[in-house]
Structure 1
Amino acid sequence: MMRRRTTLLTGCIAAALALGATACGGSEPVAAGGGDKALDGQTVTVAGVWSGSEQENFQKVLDAFTEKTGAKTQFVSTGDNVSTVVGSKIEGGDAPDVVMVPQVGVLQQFAKKGWLQPLSKPVESAVDAGFADVWKKYGSVDGTLYGLYFKAAHKSTVWYSPEALTQAGVEPPKTYDEMLEAGHTVSDSGLAAFAVAGQDGWTLTDWFENIYLSQAGPEKYDALAAHELKWSDASVVKALTTLGKLFEDKQLIAGAQKGALNTDFPGSVEKVFGPEPEAGMVYEGDFVAGVAKDQYDRTVGEDADFFPFPGVDGNDAPVVSGGDAAVVLKDSKHRAAGMELVEYLASAEAAAVWAGEGGFLSPNKKLSLDSYGDEVTRATAESLVGAGDSVRFDMSDQAPAAFGGTKGTGEWKLLQDFLRDPSDPKATAAALESAAAKAYRD
């Protein structure tokens, strides 16, 4: 995999693919299942894409597990290429016990290769009791539960500068048409409406997915995600036409198409929340807040806020999500201890550890909203959990990497081409279908 969406960026950190610190408990440990130090002396190795502050915050969750069970933990940061790194470790006889898998497609790949241990009955019971059915569906392959979604992203949030919208005299819009209308008003006041991160193809897939889910509905979304519906379908052409109206409007996009194609995700956040703003709004997931807060010292809820991605053509507002699922590898040395860790991660107690640190959403409806540190994050979490089974997982994350997850090819490149010239949605849809057919066939 060539990209990571729910992990906050900074490629310089990704280069340091080193082992995380080993965590040891300090107080009298009690086993998660109620026994006495059942895992004392064992070390659970966990692999995942997280680095920087995300890795540090996850380590606090692992530390809490240590105090509860006596097990030590060791975190290995894989970078974006999770499947390659994990595959090489399995072949070398050094499989981690638990992997935090960032895409549905990768989870399915691991399961079909026979790498995964089905999750235990206690985990399945916790999922049934605390999670919407859709999360169990995305964690399962052929009816068997392999993945527990611990961390989620809400990818239907439009972030804005309250100062910019107030100066333009506009309120957060309720419909897609109102959003474009508000964008023109913002533009008339001196700023572009949107900063679009066209240099990163994954952001463009997210734009498309939100429009498509609202406009075409969840059934067609599911069919297109599974390639049971062709990308040349009229519903795809319609969504591209809607998206094209934004892309072609030079008033709405900072720097117009050329500027967008030269803007990466961090740059798009900077254009709204940096020291010299160029736009009033930026669409992306809840993780925008972390960049605005950490990089530009914005106070979330005061000078950085969001509104839900609005419904299109009078339809319901979409809720697109992503997430990281904990899986247990069959060939690991401490598989039973790894399963104990996943049982712990399925609890509201574990989720509360990271929720209190920020930069985290849980799909676990048993986690109290009071666990989150600010009102904006609470509102985002409430929207995600409240959407229940209407949540849909990021479509490109469900696709083969050759189509939905590789820089310079497939959906990423074709939507960048469409941003450059959105004049022929039907031709773009046909090109998407050609690329998808090849990727799903291979």
Structure 2
Amino acid sequence: GVVAKANSKSTIWYRPDSLKELGAQPPKTWEELLSLTKKYKDAGKTPWAVGAGDGWPLTDWFESIYLYKYGPDKYDKLFAGDLPFTDPSVKGALQEMVKIINGENVPGGIERALGTAFVDSIGQVFGTNPKAELYYEGGFVGGIALGEVNPKLRVGKDIDFFPFPTIDPQHGQPLLGAGDVAVAFENNDDVKKLMEFLASPEAGTTWVSTGAIVSPNKGVELSAYPNPLVRKEAQQVREAETFAFDGSDLLPGALGTEWPTVLQGVIKTPDKIDQLLTEFQDQASAEFGA
């Protein structure tokens, strides 16, 4: 197979003018991010928007926190079924997650967030009438914000991103990401030519010109990217020492669709984390054959 396209999911989106007005800088650590969240609240602003109605953005939140807090080795074990979801580390990451995703920090509270779709939540930060200040999701947010939500956004003034902040310094800044793999099912000359083309800088250059994706091919020049946001994302992917693939996309069977539902339950009833994880692990044990 050939990894034909990729995206970073280690990006936190913000409005630079809003941050400047607050007198703040992009945070470099998790504690600084929590402090920025509080600073926005103290200023009478709603810090975060979350499209929890779709579920999958919550999986990316969890994965980023887990990866940055516990490192890529433990992350890989968890999503390969070699570490149970009842391991204390999972609860530890979820407890960090609800420090941000709670009723005080999102427009209309948790119930409203659970009824808000992904693209609509981008609009809560980058629409013409913003209701929140910060947004976590992958590099594709920029293209959606500029293309669908608010074409009048000015890059560097109304929209930008900073890297997901360090949680445990010993793990540094691994990159959470996802990608699409082209797989050949037949072995003939035409298929080989197509696969070779998809693996080439030429194909990557054509694809990245859309501004929607990043090519994992280092032969694709950064100048091929059509705007500063996707160029910045491409550089982040290119310079990453560790690339951790989206864990929920790797879960077998029904686990991949059930896990977002578990996380919706976590943000709605954080006092039931243990129960939710125990029930999910029962399913995981069956799927992984433990």
TM range (shorter): over 0.9
CA contact (8 A) 1:244 1:425 kept: no
Q: CA RMSD in A?
A: 1.7
TM-superposed deviation, 1:391: 0.5
Q: Contact 2:37–2:100 at 8 Å: present in 1 too?
A: no
Contact 2:17 2:157 in 1 (8 A): no
Query: CA separation in 2, counterparts of 1:347 and 1:337?
Result: 15
For 2:176, which of 320, 334, 343 is the aligned residue? Answer: 320
Residue 294 (structure 1) aligned with residue 139 (structure 2): no
Matched residue, 1:10: none
Partner of 1:398: 250
TM-score by length of 2: 0.93
Q: Which residue of 2 aligns with 1:310?
A: 165
What is the match of residue 348 of structure 1? 201
Aligned partners of 2:47, 2:272: CA distance in 1, in Å? 24
Q: Which amino acid aligns with 2:164?
A: F
**Separation in 2 of the partners of 1:419 and 1:318?**
25
What is aligned with 2:239?
386
| Residues matched between the structures, number | 287
Determine the structure 2 residue equivalent to 1:28. Answer: none
How big is the shift at 1:335? 4.3
1:192 aligns to what? 46
**Partners in 1 of 2:215 and 2:185 — Cα distance?**
23
The one of 91, 115, 137 aligned to 1:284: 137
Alpha-carbon shift at residue 187 of structure 1 (Å): 2.4
Sort the Cα spacing of 1:344 and 1:262 in 2 relative to 1 into closer, same or farther, 3 A. same
The structural deviation recorded for 1:207 is: 0.3
Conserved in 2, the CA contact under 8 Å of 1:197 and 1:263?
Answer: yes
Aligned partner of 2:265 among 409, 417, 420: 417
Measured against aligned partners, the alpha-carbon deviations of 1:369-390 in whole angstroms (never above 9, x if no partner) come to 12112222222111111114x1
- Residue segments in structure 1 that go unaligned for 5+ positions in a row: 1-146
Distance in 1, matches of 2:90 and 2:218, equals 33
Q: Which residue of 2 aligns with 1:427?
A: 275
1:12-50: CA deviation from partner (whole Å, max 9, x where unpaired): xxxxxxxxxxxxxxxxxxxxxxxxxxxxxxxxxxxxxxx
**Structure 1 residue 256, shift from structure 2 partner:** 1.9
Percentage of matched positions with identical amino acids: 38
Long gaps (5+) in structure 2: none
Contact 1:400-1:439 within 8 A present in 2 as well: yes
Distance 1:301 1:151 in 2: 25
Report which of the two has the higher share of helix: 2
- How many angstroms apart in 2 are the aligned matches of 1:170 and 1:189? 12
Number of the residue aligned with 2:62: 208
Q: Structure 1-normalised TM-score?
A: 0.62
Which fold has the larger relative contact order, with Cα–Cα distance below 8 Å and residues 6 or more apart in sequence?
2
Q: Secondary structure at the match of 1:328?
A: coil
1:89-168 paired onto structure 2 within 5 Å: 147-168=1-22
Match of 2:77 in 1: 223
> Shift of residue 245 of structure 1?
2.0
Q: For 2:271, what is the secondary structure of its paired residue?
A: coil
Separation (CA, whole Å) in 2 of partners of 1:437 and 1:157? 32
The offset of 1:288, in angstroms, is: 0.5
Higher Rg of the two aligned structures: 1
Partners of 1:432 and 1:239 in 2: CA distance: 16
For the pair 1:247 / 2:101, whether they are aligned, the reply is yes
1:234 Cα offset (Å): 1.5
> In 2, Cα distance between the equivalents of 1:431 and 1:254?
30
